Amino acid sequence: MKKTVLLMLFILLLCAAQTLFAQGNMQQNVRSYVRSELERTDQMLQRAGDAIRGGNNPMAVANFERAKELQEMAWNQFREETVESYQAALKLTRMARQQVGTALSNSRQIEQYEGVILQKLERAGDLLERAKEAVELGDNANLQAIYDLASENLTKAWEFYRNGDYKPALKLVNQVFRTAEKILSTFNDQLRKEGFYERHRENIARMVQNARQAVNQCGSEDGQVFMLQAENAFKRAEELNDEKHYRAALKQLQMARVMAVKATRECQGLDFLTDRYERIKSEADRISEQIAGLPSDQTEAARELLEQLYQQLELSHSYIEQEQIEPAIASLKAAQLILSQLKKLVNNL
């Protein structure tokens, strides 16, 4: 009887030991599994970190920081080494992964959003350039103020975009689109009105004519180049208007105006007159040295022309100092004619 009891106690002790051993193995397996899950999350955080921080997306960064906090809490639970702490660690690390996924999703969305806004900014710039041309060609004073405001808004939109403030950038760029389209629509309405081209043509024809007179009087070579461009543009405008290409005709009229202004500027102002005086005097001094080396019987006529040239230059200089533009232009023109005669004579000696 005693042996039977002892045998039964031994069997019970053996079963209990096996159960404890099995439980120990199970806890070790759980620990290994949770650690591998934690390490997997660490790798995910490491891979996603640079992409999210460089994405300039505050929401994505906030999600990523929350993921790191959850992961740190998971590791703290894991270090307590109980079945319950392992379960808590596993739950926390999986929550951390969800936050990483959300951060990456937000980052990709903002990249796509950024690309859309960039395309809109570039297209708005092109459209505003067309609107600017319409403002310059048209005769509606209100359009200039509207264009200036749109141009300011586009500049601000670019600033918001560069700072990562995409919502205000998108709002402003949409306003620019609407304003530019309004300007172009108004301009197209003007084009359809009878006599619009003719009014511009008359004004610019007078401008081109006045520029031609100024250039012929002052004799500027650069002015002649600009003048030729102005006259060619005006001629092309007339041809385009006859062909009913009204927008292109107005653009050529605008080109004629710009070139006529440049041609006129070449013949106005003391700086131009002073430069021209210096060029003529420099050539006169050079020819004077050439004449000095020739026999006196061959240079009498040349010396007379040279003396007249210096007298005319002295007169021109006096007018320039007194800021008398018209007399200075006439005097320099006379000096240029004498210089041309003198060059021809010297070359024949």
Position 66 scores a pLDDT of 86
> How many C-beta neighbours within 10 Å does residue 146 have?
17
292 with 342, same domain: the answer is yes
Classify residue 341: in a domain, yes or no.
yes
Angle at 136 between CA 135 and CA 142, to 5 degrees: 40
243 with 287, same domain: the answer is no
341 with 275, same domain: the answer is yes
243 with 274, same domain: the answer is no
280 with 294, same domain: the answer is yes
pLDDT < 70: residue spans in the chain: 1-27, 50-51, 53-57, 104, 106-113, 138-141, 191-196, 268-269, 296-298, 349
Is the Cα dihedral 243, 248, 253, 256 positive or negative?
Answer: negative
Classify residue 43: in a domain, yes or no.
yes
Q: Which of 87, 111, 135 is the last residue of a domain?
A: 111
259 with 335, same domain: the answer is no
Domain that holds residue 53: 26-111
229 with 299, same domain: the answer is no
303 with 241, same domain: the answer is no
Classify residue 236: in a domain, yes or no.
yes
> Global pTM?
0.38
Classify residue 143: in a domain, yes or no.
no
Domain count, the chain: 3
Closest CA to 53 of 43, 65, 42, 41: 65
274 with 343, same domain: the answer is yes
280 with 238, same domain: the answer is no
Position 289 scores a pLDDT of 85
Classify residue 139: in a domain, yes or no.
no
163, burial (CB in 10 Å: exposed 0-12, middle 13-18, buried 19+): exposed
Q: Which of 111, 139, 155 is the last residue of a domain?
A: 111
Classify residue 213: in a domain, yes or no.
yes
Q: How far is the C-alpha of 34 from the C-alpha of 297, rounded, in Å?
A: 117
Q: How far is the C-alpha of 310 from the C-alpha of 207, rounded, in Å?
A: 35
254 with 300, same domain: the answer is no
Classify residue 202: in a domain, yes or no.
yes
User: Three-class SS string for the chain?
Assistant: CHHHHHHHHHHHHHHHHHHHHHHHHHHHHHHHHHHHHHHHHHHHHHHHHHHHHCCCCHHHHHHHHHHHHHHHHHHHHHCCCCHHHHHHHHHHHHHHHHHHHHHHHHHHHHHHHHHHHHHHHHHHHHHHHHHHHHHHHCCCHHHHHHHHHHHHHHHHHHHHHHCCCHHHHHHHHHHHHHHHHHHHHHHHHHHCCCCHHHHHHHHHHHHHHHHHHHHHHHCCHHHHHHHHHHHHHHHHHHHHHHCCCHHHHHHHHHHHHHHHHHHHHCCCCHHHHHHHHHHHHHHHHHHHHHHHCCCHHHCHHHHHHHHHHHHHHHHHHHHHHCCCHHHHHHHHHHHHHHHHHHHHHHHHC
327 with 277, same domain: the answer is yes
Closest CA to 110 of 196, 52, 178, 189: 52
Q: Which of 239, 265, 291 is the last residue of a domain?
A: 265
Classify residue 11: in a domain, yes or no.
no
